């Protein structure tokens, strides 16, 4: 962010302490229901200087899941489409794939058959397509893909599949002195090349699933080579661990959409002081997708029960969001 923008954002945040109208206008894609009111009330509570619930700026840490929380995740996590495209690109260098599963099915266009191998097959596809090159090479591959690939249903660029209300929420929180982080099961190096441009979240505020890295000299120049090993699985119990490793302090607000986010929300909200936890509930089959307890992707079951029991905010996309995607 340009330094002038930072100054303006900070000044704006100060002015906002006295202006509820500003807060309401910051979330124009949200209907004026209980979810929006809970968000605004929380932000006003922790930013009112001198009040008992005031939280100093450095402690205003907010963590967001990505898939299903900031952008869509149907019909498959978008990173899987990236990996499938990589398999096609890399196939000429791997003649053995024509007979070797899960690659053989993939190359015949049979995605379902390839993924029939379950988590093991997916892990093999991910490892193979996300390693064997330097971090800089991978960064370029991701940037090229994200600039050109299209979502199979909407035919939009994947970065158009981000939720407009959540983008407004990120900006509203930052304008109020929050530092916004992504804490996602997605690959950390798959997200970082575009999160700053798309969400305003710089690479150092992205926490994700991480593979091994090897430092080596290539023609006398240091390089970091991506290894086909899993170093940190940033899902479920891995989310609080990832938060501790990267951020080193407990968030005061956390946002998710699935059971994979439950531990992050518990870690955030079962602690002293003012806390805010929110689940995005996918209830809109017309404008997005409708799924929860039985879904293969982004299953929200225990989380829905915990949210009810603990009084967390649950956003119903159908009822709470005026707009889902900016392109609609």
Q: For binding to its own copies (CB under 8 A), which residues are involved?
A: 1-4, 6-7, 10-11, 13-14, 56-58, 61, 135, 177, 179, 188-189, 192, 196, 202-206, 210, 213-215, 220-222, 224, 237-238, 240-241, 244-249, 263, 266-267, 270
CB of residue 192 to its own copies, shortest distance in Å: 5
Nearer CB in complex with its own copies: 276/289: 276
State the nearest-atom distance from the C-beta of 173 to its own copies, in Å. 14
Q: Which is nearer to its own copies, 186 or 240 (by Cβ)?
A: 240
Q: Which is nearer to its own copies, 102 or 193 (CB)?
A: 193
> Whose Cβ is closer to its own copies: residue 2's or residue 155's?
2
Of 176, 203, 204, 51, nearest to 168 by C-alpha is: 176
Smallest separation (angstroms) from its own copies to the CB of 122: 23
Q: What share of the chain is helix, strand, coil (3-state, %, to 5)?
A: 50, 20, 30
Phi, psi values for residue 183, rounded to 5°: -130, 100
Q: 3-state class of 293 per DSSP?
A: coil
Least gap, CB of 82 to its own copies (angstroms): 18
DSSP secondary structure letters along 21-72: HHHHHT-TTB-SSHHHHHHHHHHHHHHSTTSTT---GGG-EEEE--BTTTB-
> Alpha-carbon distance 16 to 190, whole Å?
35
Shortest distance in whole angstroms from residue 126 CB to its own copies: 18
Burial of 270 (0-12, 13-18, 19+ CB in 10 A): exposed
Residue placing its CB nearer to its own copies in the complex, 69 or 263 = 263
């Amino acid at each position: 962010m340009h330094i002038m923008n930072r100054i303006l954002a900070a000044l704006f945040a100060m002015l906002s302490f006295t202006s509820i109208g500003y807060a309401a206008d910051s979330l124009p894609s949200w209907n004026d229901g209980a979810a929006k009111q809970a968000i605004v009330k929380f932000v006003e509570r922790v930013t009112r200087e001198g009040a008992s619930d005031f939280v100093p700026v450095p402690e205003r840490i907010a963590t967001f899941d990505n898939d299903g929380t900031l952008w869509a995740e149907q019909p498959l996590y978008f990173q899987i489409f990236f990996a499938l495209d990589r398999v096609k690109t890399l196939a000429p260098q791997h003649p053995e794939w024509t007979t070797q599963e899960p690659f053989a099915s993939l190359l015949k266009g049979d995605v379902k058959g390839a993924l029939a191998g379950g988590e093991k097959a997916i892990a093999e596809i991910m490892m193979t397509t996300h390693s064997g090159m330097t971090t800089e090479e991978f960064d370029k591959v991701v940037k090229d893909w994200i600039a050109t690939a299209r979502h199979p249903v909407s035919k939009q660029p994947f970065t158009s599949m981000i939720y407009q209300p959540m983008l407004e929420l990120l900006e509203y929180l930052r304008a109020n002195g929050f530092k916004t982080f992504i804490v996602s099961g997605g690959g950390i190096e798959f997200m970082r090349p575009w999160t700053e441009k798309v969400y305003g979240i710089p690479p150092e505020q992205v926490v994700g699933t991480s593979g091994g890295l090897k430092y080596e000299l290539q023609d006398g120049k240091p390089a970091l080579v991506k290894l086909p090993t899993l170093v940190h699985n940033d899902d479920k119990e891995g989310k609080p661990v990832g938060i501790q490793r990267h951020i080193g302090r407990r968030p005061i607000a956390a946002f998710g959409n699935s059971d994979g986010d439950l531990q992050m929300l518990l870690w955030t909200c079962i602690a002293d002081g003012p806390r805010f936890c929110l689940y995005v509930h996918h209830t809109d089959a017309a404008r997005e997708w409708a799924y929860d307890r039985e879904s293969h992707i982004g299953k929200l079951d225990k989380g829905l029960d915990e949210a009810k029991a603990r009084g967390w905010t649950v956003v119903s996309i159908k009822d709470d969001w005026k707009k889902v995607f900016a392109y609609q």
